[in-house]
Amino acid sequence: MTAFALDSDDVAWCAELRALTADRLRPLAEKAEPGRVNRPLVAALGELGLLRRLFPDGGTVRALDLCLLRESLAQECTEAETALALQGLGACPVLQSGTEEQRARWLPEVTAGRAVAAFALSEPDAGSDAAALTLAAEPDGAGGWRLGGEKCWISNAPEADFATVFARTGEAPGARGVTAFLVPADRPGLSGEHLDMLSPHPIGTLVFDGVPVSRDDVLGEPGHGFGVAMRTLNLFRPSVGAFAIGMARAALDAALEHAATRTAFGGPLKDLQSVSHRLADLATRVEAARLLVYAAAAAYDAGAADVAKRAAMAKLLATETAQETVDAAVQIHGARALRRGHLLEHLYREVRAPRIYEGATEVQRTIIARELYR
């Protein structure tokens, strides 16, 4: 395939994923308590082999496959999409940088849906500027460290079974003094709390009060943790755009159906030029964003030199387009779309966060501008 077209196998796979998600995963999502880890849903992702798609044959998923997976799931069930993505985000550093022992201990549990993972980078005062993190890893005198500080806005916290945690070991200032650790949830001194967020999936804090970690818990090398984080984020950033496109396509489909069946002023809404032209513009923007996401993923898989720029462009356009599309779909539906439990009410809450996490819209613009002058 090219960056601009999917082959027949990919198209069929996406259709199969959407049907599977609607039939098997959406009912599990609908039964769950918002803001808590849905372990039956995670287990189903494992049983259906979808989590194994993130780590095919012990390797790393193709960025394009990850995008197709996230987009397809998001069209039918955002909770299933997010549960899958968070497993990948938390466990990919283990795959990419972990030891054989770390991989053997955790990856089978993650892919089976028995262990829930978290990616703990953000802090109360270090979100978009991740290199400013302050979680301290103080030497304990025995070759290990004690972690002290707080992580905030962490998906799956505090319920995750383990977290990839980034802390400052102080080899150098800024990004060069960060080390990545694999921290199981049962370590003494580790606690946290749920945050009441505009999100159906769990988000919380992790508090480290002298949490012991050793050399066996390091992912990669001491002082090189920021590279561990960036390798994971570079893989996942285009697929955040794919998640957004999945939501945008669901919203657009709902708006098209409603405009075709809802009558007003003597005919269906779709016959009003103001509505039909708005839908045409949205469909064009969604398709353009989708193709940009695919192109960024294909560039990542090809090892292109301009991946950072392409990924930033893809996330920027896709998340902003998704926000616009969901908002317009709500407007076309009117008050019914704001009723609790309506698809668009759900999407309206879901679509906001991707413009912030894994690099806010403003950060993506900064990356693009920097790359243009590189």
pLDDT above 70 (res 61): yes
8 Å CB contact between 61 and 233:
no
- Whole-number pLDDT of residue 168: 94
80-117 per-position pLDDT tens digit: 999 999 999 999 999 999 999 999 999 999 999 999 99
- Comparing CA positions, the residue from 258, 214, 194, 243 lying closest to residue 75 is 243
- Indicate the average pLDDT of the chain: 94
Tell me: the pLDDT tens digits for 214-245? Answer: 999 999 999 999 999 999 998 999 999 999 99
Determine the pLDDT at residue 33. Answer: 87
The residue-averaged pLDDT of 302-330 equals: 96
Q: Which fold has domain 227-372?
A: Butyryl-CoA Dehydrogenase, subunit A; domain 3 (1.20.140)
User: Does the pLDDT at position 4 exceed 80?
Assistant: no
**pTM over 0.75, yes/no:** yes
CATH numeric code, 117-225: 2.40.110.10
Separation CA 157–CA 162 (nearest Å): 9
Q: Please give the CATH number for the structural domain made up of 8-112.
A: 1.10.540.10
Helices (H), the chain: 8-20, 26-31, 39-47, 63-76, 78-97, 100-112, 225-261, 273-301, 307-333, 343-350, 361-372
Q: Phi first, then psi: give them for residue 44, nearest 5 degrees.
A: -65, -40
pLDDT-derived band at 153 (thresholds 50, 70, 90) equals very high
Percentage of residues of the chain with pLDDT beyond 70: 98
Interval 127-145: pLDDT, tens: 777 678 999 999 998 889 9
Residue 118's nearest CA partner among 79, 74, 88 is 88
Q: Print burial letters for 158-168: b (CB count within 10 Å at least 16), e (below 16).
A: bebbbbbbbbb
The Cα–Cα gap between 272 and 264 comes to 9
Structure tokens at 264: 């007003």
Residue 208 has pLDDT above 50, yes or no: yes
Taking residue 239's Cβ as centre, other Cβ atoms within 10 Å add up to 33
Residue boundaries of the structural domains of the chain: 8-112, 117-225, 227-372
Query: Taking a C-beta distance cutoff of 8 angstroms, is the pair 37, 202 a contact?
Result: yes
d(CA 70, CA 45): 12
Q: For residues 183 and 167, what is the distance between their CA atoms, to the nearest angstrom? A: 11
Q: Tell me whether domains 8-112 and 227-372 share a fold.
A: no
Which are the contacts of 113, defined by CB distance < 8 A and separation ≥ 6? 42, 43, 44, 45, 46, 47, 51, 87
Most confident of the ranges 55-69, 167-181, 260-274: 260-274
Task: State how beta strands 136-139 and 203-213 pair.
Answer: unpaired
CB atoms within 10 A of CB 293: 33
Q: What pLDDT, on a 0 to 100 scale, did the predictor assign at position 1?
A: 47
Q: Which residues are catalytic?
A: 358
